[in-house]
Structure 1
Amino acid sequence: MRVHIYDLQIGDRLASNVFNDSGLHVLSNGKMLDAQDINKLFNHRIDYVEIHRRLSDDSSLAMVSKAEESARKIQPFFDLAVDGAKDLFEQVVRTGKFDAEQIHENFDPLVESFNQETDVVQLLLSLNGKDDYTFHHSVQVGMISYYLAKWLGKSREESLFTGKAGYLHDIGKSRIDSAILNKPSKLTPEEYESIKQHTLIGRDIIENSMGASALSLAALQHHERLNGSGYPHGIRGDQMHPVSKIVAVADVYSAMISSRVYQQKRDLLVVLKELHRLSFSELDPFIVQTFIRNMIPNFLGKSVSLSTGEIGKIVFTNPSDFFRPLVQVEDKFIDLADSPQIDIEMIFL
Structure 2
Amino acid sequence: MPAKEYEELIGKRLTASIYGAKGTMLIGEGTILLPSHIEKLANFKIKASDVEAVEVQEPETETESEPELTTEREAREVSGGSAADTREKARLAGEHLNHIDFFVHQNSIVPLEQVEEKILPYIRETAMRYNMFQVFSELKDQGDYRYKQILGVAVMATALGKRLQMDEEELALLSTAAILYDIGSVQLPSSLINKTARFDTHDYAIMKQHTVLGHELLSKSGVDPRIAAVALEHHEREDGSGYPNSLTGDQISRFSKIIALADVYMALTSDRPHRPAFTFFDAVEEIHQQILRNKLDSVIGITFLDLILVRQTGCDVILSDGRRGKILLTNVNYPTQPLIVLENDEFMDLSKVFDVRIQEVLG
- State the TM bucket, normalised to the shorter chain: 0.7 to 0.9
Residue 321 of structure 1 pairs with residue 334 of structure 2: yes
Would the alpha carbon gap of residues 30 and 255 (structure 1) be closer, same or farther in structure 2, given more than 3 Å must change? closer
Shift of 1:142: 1.2
Maintained 8 Å contact 1:129/1:258? no
User: Which residue of structure 2 lines up, in the alignment, with residue 243 of structure 1?
Assistant: 255
Matched, 1:279 2:291: yes
Distance 1:319 1:224, change over 3 A: closer
Q: Hey, what's the Cα distance between the residues in 1 that align with 2:172 and 2:80?
A: 26
Is residue 90–residue 138 contact of structure 2 (8 Å, CA) maintained in 1?
Answer: no
Q: Which residue of the partner structure matches residue 51 of structure 1? A: none
CA contact 2:127–2:159 (8 Å) conserved in 1: no
2:166 maps to what in 1? 154
Match of 1:87 among 99, 104, 109: 99
**1:186 equivalent in alignment to 2:203:** no
1-structure distance, mates of 2:106, 2:360:
45
1:66/1:246 CA distance change after superposition, 3 Å: closer
What number of residue pairs does the alignment pair up? 315
Q: Which amino acid aligns with 1:256?
A: L
Is 2:7 the partner of 1:24?
yes
Q: For 1:262 and 1:126, locate their aligned partners in 2 and report how far apart those are by CA, in whole Å.
A: 24
Q: Which amino acid aligns with 1:218?
A: V
Mapping of 1:191-230 within 5 angstroms?
A: 191-211=203-223, 213-230=225-242
Deviation (angstroms), 1:124: 2.7
Structure 2: distance between partners of 1:332 and 1:193: 53
1:310 to 323, 346, 349: 323
Q: For residues 262 and 87 of structure 1, do their structure 2 counterparts lie closer, same or farther at Cα, with a shift above 3 Å needed?
A: farther
User: Which amino acid in structure 1 is aligned with residue 29 of structure 2?
Assistant: Q
Q: Structure 1 residues 262, 88: closer, same or farther in 2, change over 3 A?
A: farther
> Do residues 36 (structure 1) and 29 (structure 2) align?
yes
| CA distance 1:20–1:347, change in 2 (3 Å) | farther
RMSD of aligned residue pairs (Cα, Å): 3.0
- Paired with 1:37 and 1:25, the residues of 2 have a C-alpha distance of 17
| Aligned 8 A contact 1:121 1:295 in 2 | no
Structure 1 residue 43 displacement after superposition: 6.0
The reply to whether residue 295 of structure 1 matches residue 281 of structure 2 is: no
Q: Structure 2 vs 1, CA of residues 167 and 211 (structure 1 numbering), >3 Å: closer, same or farther? A: closer
Local SS of the residue matching 1:312: strand
CA distance in 2, matches of 1:319, 1:63: 22
2:356 is equivalent to residue 336 of structure 1: no
Work out the CA distance in 2 between the residues paired with 1:113 and 1:211: 23
- TM-superposed CA distance for 1:211, in Å, is 4.2
Contact 1:70 1:117 in 2 (8 A): no
TM-score of the two chains, using structure 1 as the length reference: 0.80
AA partner of residue 336 (structure 1): L
Q: How many Å separate the matches in 2 of 1:157 and 1:129?
A: 31
Partner residue in 2 for 1:104: 116
Deviation digits for residues 118-144 of structure 1 (CA, Å, limit 9, x no counterpart): 223432333234621112211211111
Amino acid at match of 2:342: V
Work out the CA distance in 2 between the residues paired with 1:307 and 1:79. Answer: 34
Quick check: 1:74–1:110 contact (8 Å CA) kept in 2?
A: no
For 1:53-72, list aligned pairs within 5 A. Answer: 70-72=82-84
Unaligned residue ranges in structure 2 (runs of 5+) = 15-26, 42-73
**Greater displacement, 120-129 / 77-86:** 120-129
- Residues 268 and 347 in structure 1, CA contact (< 8 A), matched pair in contact too: yes
TM-aligned CA distance change 1:344 to 1:21, over 3 Å: farther
Equivalent AA in structure 1 for residue 87 of structure 2: Q
Name the counterpart of 1:14: none
C-alpha spacing 1:243/1:113, structure 2 compared with 1 (3 Å) = closer
1:40-91 superposed Cα distances (whole Å, 9 cap, x missing partner): 66864459xxxxxxxxxxxxxx999876955433333322322221122111
Q: Kindly tell me: are residues 298 and 218 of structure 1, through their superposed partners in 2, closer, same or farther at Cα, counting changes over 3 Å?
A: same
Cα distance in 2 between the residues matched to 1:188 and 1:337: 39
Question: Is the Cα contact below 8 Å between 2:124 and 2:155 reproduced in 1?
Answer: no
Identity %, equivalent residues: 27
The CA distance in 1 between the partners of 2:12 and 2:33, in whole Å, is: 15
Correspondent of 1:127 among 127, 136, 139: 139
Cα distance in structure 1, aligned partners of 2:255 and 2:336: 27
